[in-house]
Amino acid sequence: MFKESYYLFVRKMKATVRQPVWIVVSLSTPLLLIALYAPLLRGMGGDNQTIGEVLNMFVPGLLTLIAFSAGISAGWEVILDLRDGVIERFRVTSARRFSILMGTVFHDIVMFLVPATFLLIIALPFGFRIDVGGLLVLLVLLCLLTAVLSAWSCAMALIIKEMGGLSALLSGIQMPLMLLAGILLPLSHGPRWLEILGHFNPLFYTVEAARDLATGDIFTNSVGLAFAIFLPLVILTMWWSTRVHKKAIK
């Protein structure tokens, strides 16, 4: 199973490397957000707020956004594989359907970790400071988020089997999830009703935990709640997505 997952992961990575435009875009987007968006937030905490203090609030949310985008985009590749007949060729292989899923999930986790590392390297000279222990726990949490979204997106692509339908679904849920998570700005800056709605969004707890972990606060309620949500969610989503793969690739 591990060997199958590895070979399928390598296949995905080779396809990504052959399309360097996606690598350039994924690496340049964090730089643009820090350079062009973060300075707009300096006045929100008072005139004495430094850019480093802004980044301590902004970068954890941005890391969550990168993890979210890396996972939820997995379905596009599945639709292309369906169109090109790759899924049909998988039907005659002895590869476990779980391995096929994990090859994609591992690829998406790497596609999160690379721009996330690049973002941290860029943010440090601007004054961003992060606790090393908190960073490691944060990366584990965000890898779980990417895995959940990747497995869900792959399964939905196999169910819908059409680019337009998948596009409508992802576009319909992506914006509300991001806005109700407080990724770019904490929901505490908005009205109370908006913050209440955010508590029904699992992504909200990831963002709150990310901001705690960035400062080294590992043993907080936000961190514990985020892991309590996403650990069982990973297991459930992987199980369900594997069943979908088995039905789609008999």
How far is 227 from 219, CA to CA, in rounded Å?
11
pLDDT digit string (tens) for 138-155? 999 999 999 999 999 999
The average confidence (pLDDT) of the chain is 85
Number of separate domains in the chain: 1
Range of lowest pLDDT (47-61, 99-113, 194-208)? 47-61
What pLDDT is attached to residue 123? 84
Q: 128 in helix, strand or coil? A: coil
Dihedral in degrees, nearest 10, Cα atoms 80, 83, 87, 89? -120
pLDDT digit string (tens) for 12-38? 888 888 877 777 777 777 778 777 777
pLDDT digit string (tens) for 212-241? 998 888 989 999 999 999 999 999 999 999
pLDDT digit string (tens) for 81-90? 888 888 778 7
What pLDDT is attached to residue 42? 65
- Region 187-204: mean pLDDT is 86
For residue 152, the enclosing domain spans: 2-248
What pLDDT is attached to residue 94? 77
Contact by Cβ (8 Å): 112, 66: yes
Question: pTM (2 decimals)?
Answer: 0.89
Nearest C-alpha neighbor of 12 from the set 93, 70, 66, 56: 70
What pLDDT is attached to residue 129? 81
What pLDDT is attached to residue 141? 96
Contact by Cβ (8 Å): 56, 215: yes
How far is 6 from 103, CA to CA, in rounded Å?
6
